[in-house]
Amino acid sequence: MQPPYYAVIFTSVTNESNEGYSEMAQKMQSLAQGQEGYLGMESARNEIGITVSYWKSLESIRSWKQNLEHLEAQSKGRSSWYKSYTVRIALVEREYSFDLE
């Protein structure tokens, strides 16, 4: 992707009880894909989880944050799944890649 664009860096620690979590994560990923300004998403998890989503503008991030189903997921996340999380909103200024193929 051609900078500048935005990244939302979401780092989290989940509880032991994570019933319904991965279904919800999947659902939110599909929902985000349909949002205006969505550019992509990458996730990895072992001790902590890191999800980075990419967006055209602050405006598109704001709309996604306020999406009704997403608001419900956020609320459920705080009440059931997450021990802690941090959200960072960052302007990607530079990007470079290495690819063997």
User: What does the binding site for a copy of itself look like in residue numbers (CB under 8 A)?
Assistant: 3, 7, 9, 11, 42-50, 52, 78, 82-101
In this structure, the strands spanning 5-14 and 49-55 are antiparallel
Q: How far apart (Å, rounded) are the C-alpha atoms in residues 38 and 28?
A: 12
CB of residue 31 vs a copy of itself: minimum separation in angstroms? Answer: 20
- Of residues 67 and 85, the one with the C-beta less far from a copy of itself: 85
By beta-carbon proximity to a copy of itself, the closer residue of 20 and 78 is 78
Residue at token pair 């985000």: 32
